[in-house]
Structure 1
Amino acid sequence: MVFLGKLSTGVFKFMFYFVPLSSDSAGIAEVKPDYRLYVMAPLGQITDWDAFRAELELLKENGVYAITTDIWWGLVESEKDNQFDWSYYQKYSEAVEASGLKWVPILSTHQCGENVGDVCSYPIPSWLWKEDSAENMAFKSESGDWNKEVLAPWWEGTSIQYEELYRSFAKNFSDKRNLIAKIYLSAGPAGELRYPSYQKTNGWKYPGRGELQAYTDGAKSDFRLSMKEKYASITKLNVAWGKRYTNWDEIQPPNNGDEFFKVGGAIDTAFGIDFMKWYQGTLEKHLASISRLAHKHFDRVFKVPIGAKISGVHWKMNDPFMPHSAEYSAGYYNYSQLLDQFKKSKLALTFTCLEMGDSAAQTAPQYSSPKTLVAQIATLATKKGLSLNGENALAINDVGSYDNIAEMVFNYGFDGFTFLRMSYLFDDKGNPTAELRLLADKLQSKSIPVTFTVDNVPATRGVYLIGDRGEIGRWNPVDYEYKLTQSEKGNWSGTFRLAANQSYQFKFIMKDENGKITWQQGENKNLTTPMAGKGAYTSSW
């Protein structure tokens, strides 16, 4: 890159402050002592084991603590009830163990193949559908669309089938207790505790709110039973709801979701409140059930944390006509109450969409505020004393997304972050991609906060830091770019996270109002970051 000129005013100076992790300086967050970086394994089955082992070793070298893996129910119990084949995952666990990484199995009792990013097709065991009718076991939406990617929480056989899976896993992997760092439970579609409200296979398109999933005979029966338990008599229910029902069978879920959710609609009535409490409450009961079974079979054998995931349903949050309707359709009516169930169930919480920022999407048609939502959930989780972990929701390959993740993870007390997905970190030949470099620099547990300050820069220009880690003296095609902010004193600064004990080079640029870049220095600044938590480093130029 070419030097294009010198500053016409004053002396151009910058300083690097490498702050130890114990620092309580304003604006610099601490990394939790037990913070961990995880990477999600490919969805499909491994075919090239040598390449897989080599990639695992590279993850270990780049500060990754553990690999998380979907244990597909449709693969291990495909033949018939209670007949398990764990051979593939036993070989898999041995490959992970040899790499030095830890392992986080996800007992994936949902289907792979109908959600964003799915590149495989593993339905849940087909023999299940002979156990009962779809009216009891599956989901049906407002529009009458069926969904069979996961068992309905109100079906009495769901917990029975899950317990058999949990029991068999504990028996077959008890010798891997030192390898397994955590176990995750799939609690719904895409492994998330929610309803299959937004499914592309059923015609959903972002940013639509999705549809309620309470229209099977099993769902209606469960809703009516819940109302019987609350009101005891149809007369008392009629008084509360302002209805004239003569029997319980007349009770129905909302017949028009859009009308139900609109401002001033039925959602704000006694009926609407009761329905939404039941709708979310069913998820809470399901979580309580599967967590009890998991603790029963895993605690004694593995002695590790058990967790579950909530989806970051960030669109329609600010919709002036149907606020929070996408969240409500998915089953998220009261986050505080939902997180209380995580606490009661002694479960770690994982939340998604940490890579996203609040932007122009806060207006129509998205009405989206993902960063606000992450902060809300993180604050609630911290107050309730939950172990909090994060994930990205979509594939990411830009610096800004990594910066968003780092900001949330290191400023809101996350215990760990899981990157989705391993396949983005390596090319077809198994070579590391730029994403692996960004992951290691910004999100590994040994990263450190670094403050950059520049003095005597014209206030009319935007100031940026360009950085690179790699061979000193040679800039990679993808450089880091950080936007600095101006203080009241007139200098420009910004705090970022970089990998500890790594060599970097930096230069500053200025952009005019049209975005045109002008280089303002005659040399690059080379430096090596100190070890994590080791002292402070200052350099001026």
Structure 2
Amino acid sequence: MRKISYTILAFMLCLVALFSSYSPAQAEVKSDYKLYVMAPLGEVTDWDSFKKQLVQLKESGVYALTTDVWWGLVEGNGDNQFDWSYYKKYAEVVESSGLKWVPIMSTHQCGGNVGDDCNYPLPTWIWDEDSVENMAFKSESGYLNKEALAPWWDEATGQYNELYKSFAKNFADKKSLIVKIYLSGGPAGELRYPSYQFADGWDYPERGQLQAYTEGAKKDFRRAIKEKYATLKKLNTAWGTKLKNWNQIQPPNNGDEFFTSGEAYSSQYGKDFMEWYQGALEDHLQKIAKVAHKQFDSTFNVPIGAKISGVHWKMNDPEMPHAAEYSTGYYNYSQLLDQFKKSDLAITFTCLEMGDHDAYNAPYYSAPRKLVTQIANLANERGISLNGENALPLINNEWGFDNSAEVVFNYNFEGFTLLRMTYLFNDEGNPTNEFNMMRDKLGVKSVPVTFTVNNVPSAAGQGVYLTGARGEIGRWNPAEYEYKLTQNSDGNWSGTFNLGADRLYEFKFVLKDANGNITWQHGDNNSYHTPSTGVGEYSSSW
């Protein structure tokens, strides 16, 4: 009979555990792992109450507070007319609480997105700098969106440079307080297009709309195509068209048909359009990173980062796979993360609280866990600093906290930022249940579990993986988690992974060939309950 033994170790014994050498599934929580909390979106009015709450966060293991620094507030009176008085007081209060501070250079609008409870538009004077057709976004429906500046408006970089320079000058004396700086890359502070916008008639889980219909967008698309093909003859040959001038180049005239017909996936036109569409975001990221490093590095010498949104709800749609991601501007994640690496930027990725089989996602071809692990692996391969967030502004159940913790602790995340501080305290300023779950689940309180499997057939190709799901027997196909084991000198395969305390897991072992196909599996519907403390052993045979 084949034997598999599972030794569950308490934290005091983790030094003697066998550790996996596969970086996306680290055997222990990163030594520099940090827990952050996102501050309320609106302005603080009761500073004493605010400080008391910050002190409670600090005492519960939170490292830093992440705060939107609204462009519309600090430069609202006119170009280069900055007023930092509110944020200077804010920084003093954060510092007095003992927390560190992560300011976000929020060059986007607050209002209109999920969780927005305030209204801070962009400075009104900015729209006098050029035509709105060059500066804003326009969707397939004709809706004009002004919540962020379009990436193809060249003058935006100069405005951001002035903002960054003024911030560095005014907060140079807080360099011991500031531990990281984040850049807003677009709507909701994320590097993306405003494709899923309620004001444009979007509702979850619809695809959202392409945002390439202003004259500025069309001009930039034509520029990119002309740069690639040089002549109309070469362009017509590639696209199978008979265009007579460059101005006949247009974005898709029917977004749904662009996807359902397969044009987005298989035609050269679709490929060229999507590469330009994402490429405009990459160019924007490169520009803001360059001026941010110029203004911040010499003063603060801290990591600079940007955020990618977890657009998960059309990943497995049989009629238009990944259409929500594509509409948002996420066409090729590998290429996008290459730009993060080139620009020396950290990544924050969202939707860590969601599982592939959560009831909220189940009917909609959604795969958030698969997406999170894909981004994590790509970031780890490139050595990019990786941080996580929840997508929705409130995690109100234990399951969501467990999902977040398991991803963070096993996929090399350096930190997790909880949205949002508003939900961590009641009206009296006392901690809520969400506060307690944050402290207990997202602090370093997972249980390291060592797995060993014997009698594995010849493991040519990718190797052996522990695969399964959490919380409910019989729901693990497709797998929710997948961790690679390491082959020992005795020929057996082992790995130690951090799993949530007091949770039920179901698992099996699989062997994959070089193409990722499963060629052998060991175990079927086997489960165990992870203890909080102590040493336990579970064994079975097949």
Q: TM-score, normalised by structure 1?
A: 0.82
* Distance change >3 Å, CA 235–CA 489, structure 1 → 2: closer
Residues 1:124 and 2:110 are matched in the alignment: no
Report deviation, 1:147.
0.2
1:348–1:386 CA contact under 8 A, matched in 2: yes
The answer to whether structure 1 residue 483 and structure 2 residue 483 are counterparts is no
| Residue type of the alignment partner of 1:434 | N
Corresponding letter in the other structure for 2:93: A
What is the distance in 1 between the residues matched to 2:101 and 2:245?
Answer: 53
Residues in 1 aligned to 2:162 and 2:507: alpha-carbon distance in whole angstroms: 59
Aligned partner of 2:66: which letter? T
Q: 1:283-302 to 2 correspondence within 5 Å?
A: 283-302=281-300
Say whether the 8 Å CA contact 1:188–1:194 is kept in structure 2: yes
Aligned match of 1:432: 431
Q: CA deviation at 1:447?
A: 2.8
CA distance in structure 2 between the aligned counterparts of 1:486 and 1:273, rounded to whole angstroms: 39
How far off is 1:494 after superposition? 3.4
3-state SS in 2 of match to 1:68: strand
CA contact (8 A) 1:450 1:495 kept: no
Q: What is the distance in 2 between the residues matched to 1:89 and 1:296?
A: 22
Secondary structure (helix, strand or coil) at the match of 1:153 reads coil
Amino acid at match of 1:276: M
Instruction: From 471, 482, 494, give the equivalent of 2:529.
Output: 494
The equivalent residue for 2:384 is 386
Question: 1:367-406 maps to which residues of 2 (within 5 A)?
Answer: 367-394=365-392, 395-406=394-405
Identity fraction in percent: 63
**Cα-Cα RMSD:** 2.5
Q: Which residue of 2 aligns with 1:24?
A: 18
1:450 Cα deviation after fit: 5.9
- Kept in 2, the 8 Å contact 1:19–1:448? The answer is no
Alignment correspondent of 1:179:
177
The runs of 4+ residues in structure 1 deviating greater than 2 Å are 14-29, 263-267, 360-365, 480-496, 537-540
Quote how far apart the aligned CAs of 1:341 are: 0.1
Partners of 2:243 and 2:87 lie apart in 1 by 54
Matches for 1:245-324 after TM superposition, within 5 Å: 245-262=243-260, 264-324=262-322
Gap change, CA 1:15 and 1:178, over 3 Å in 2: closer
CA separation of 1:16 and 1:349: change in aligned 2, threshold 3 A: closer
The structure that has the greater radius of gyration is 1
Q: Whole-Å Cα distance in 1 between the matches of residues 395 and 343 of structure 2?
A: 32
Residue aligning to 1:52: 50
AA aligned to 1:373 is L
Which residue of the other structure, out of 73, 88, 108, is the alignment partner of 1:75?
73
Deviation at 1:354, TM superposition (A): 0.1
C-alpha distance in 1, partners of 2:524/2:204? 44
| Counterpart in the other structure of 2:481 | none
Q: Which runs of 5+ in 2 are unaligned?
A: 1-6, 451-471, 474-500, 509-522, 538-542
TM-score (normalizing by structure 2): 0.81
Aligned counterpart in structure 2 of residue 98 of structure 1, from 91, 96, 117: 96
Pick from 200, 208, 211: which aligns with 1:210? Answer: 208
State whether residues 167 and 297 of structure 1, in contact with CA within 8 Å, keep that contact through their aligned partners in structure 2. yes
Q: Structure 1, residues 309-348: CA drift from partner, whole Å, max 9, x if none?
A: 0000001100000000000000000000000000000000
1:89 CA displacement: 0.4
Gaps of 5+ in 1: 1-13, 453-461, 464-479, 499-528, 530-536
Tell me, yes or no, if the aligned pair for 1:362 and 1:369 is still in contact at 8 Å. no
Report the counterpart of residue 456 of structure 1 in structure 2: none
How much has 1:207 moved relative to structure 2? 0.2
Alignment-derived partner of residue 422 in structure 1: 421
Q: Equivalent residue for 1:191?
A: 189
CA contact (8 A) 1:198 1:210 kept: yes
Residues 411 and 46 (structure 1), Cα distance of their counterparts in 2 relative to 1, 3 Å cut: same
CA distance in 2, matches of 1:30, 1:449: 9
Q: Give SS of 1:447's match.
A: coil
- Could you report, residue by residue, the CA deviation over 1:152-210 in whole angstroms, capped at 9, with x for unpaired residues? 01112110111110000000000000000000000000000000000011110000000
Which residue number corresponds to residue 166 of structure 1? 164
Number of residues paired by the alignment? 464
Q: CA deviation at 1:257?
A: 0.6
Instruction: Assess if the C-alpha contact under 8 Å between 1:399 and 1:481 holds in 2.
Output: no
